[in-house]
A and B are shown apart, each in its own frame.
Chain A
């Protein structure tokens, strides 16, 4: 069955520390890959996306993600978190053949402590 897994429900990091959020997918072929962020009371904002090419993708707000085909993973990283990065983060995929339908993981809540 096709699925998107975010193994970490909640992560707490100190301000200034690095952050890595994990995402694994199970699809027949490499899908389109996305990371979204959702702050309380707001809609989803696209951080970055991967369709093809360079496996290290740069996004907004200082985030980057690395696609690893062998591990079916698309992990999100940020070298130094800011208090404003506290939010919920969702990994999403769209099958290559049905590129209009986003399938989301369950999300990872990030708490930033001072």
Chain B
């Protein structure tokens, strides 16, 4: 079975631009979470979506937004990019909202803002 897939793998953007990152969960998984991992730090929770509704949001500015589609894939959008947004963006999928299952992580999208 295919794991969590993310696209693109790498991305270079300029300050002030907008970016969209994409995630496809494991087949049958209805929940998608997004994390930001800055170099040298652990991942930080950005969003979780379940059944196309936002279930949780981390401490990130409104420049960050996300959505989930009927096929449970998800997009993360970041507007007005700042240098500090440079990071590895990880997507994780799970069966449902409870962590009694587990979250399966994708390989991430490496975003560089210049």
In the complex, which range does the number of interface residues on chain A fall in? 20 to 34
Q: Is A94 a contact of B99 with CB atoms below 8 Å?
A: yes
Q: Which residue in chain A gives the minimum CB-CB distance to B50?
A: A100
Q: Is A99 a contact of B97 with CB atoms below 8 Å?
A: yes
Give the contacts of A88-114 with B (CB-CB under 8 A).
90, 92, 94, 98-107
B-side residues, CB < 8 A to A, are: 4, 31, 33, 35, 40-45, 48, 50, 55-56, 58, 90, 92, 97-100, 102-108
A-side residues, CB < 8 A to B, are: 4, 32, 36, 41-46, 49, 51, 90, 92, 94, 98-107
Q: Is A104 a contact of B43 with CB atoms below 8 Å?
A: yes
Residues on B with beta carbons closer than 8 Å to the beta carbon of A44: 43, 90, 92, 105
- Identify the 10 closest CB pairs spanning chains A and B, nearest first: A104-B42, A43-B105, A44-B105, A99-B99, A43-B107, A100-B48, A101-B45, A104-B43, A46-B102, A43-B106
